[in-house]
Amino acid sequence: MSTLNVSMPESMREYIERQAERGQYSASEYVRHLIREDQKRSAQTERGLLWEYLTLCAKQLDDGELAENVTAEDIIAQGRVRRGRSA
């Protein structure tokens, strides 16, 4: 396992320590937990964008207007822009 040093205000460090104590685990475990939860949220967002892509493609196929040369990455980028995220 590797180490990462993070600088933060004292109040944040104290908060992390309190949360870790409440959950009966170390500050490192608490931070890893937060990162895992963020990874899950990101994966859910990506799945949502892919679902939008599939839905759009299905609709375009049904309507006979499937755009050529449009990739999944194009649709994902458009979805990110609609949701205010950077690509």
For residue 31, give both structure tokens: 């931070």
Which sequence spans correspond to the domains of the chain? 10-84
Query: Which of 39, 37, 2, 1 is closest to 19 using CA atoms?
Result: 37
pTM: 0.61
Angle formed by the axes of helices 10-23 and 27-63, nearest 10°: 90
What residues contact residue 66 under an 8 Å CB cut-off, 6+ apart? Answer: 57, 60
Q: What is the pLDDT of residues 59-84, one digit of tens each?
A: 877 787 666 677 777 777 777 787 77
Residue 77: both structure tokens together: 């980028």
pLDDT value of residue 87: 45
Q: What pLDDT digit, counting tens, does each position of 29-47 carry?
A: 999 999 999 999 999 988 8
pLDDT one-digit tens code per residue, 13-25: 999 999 988 988 8
Average pLDDT value for residue range 5-17: 94
Q: How many CB atoms are located within 10 Å of the residue 37 CB?
A: 10
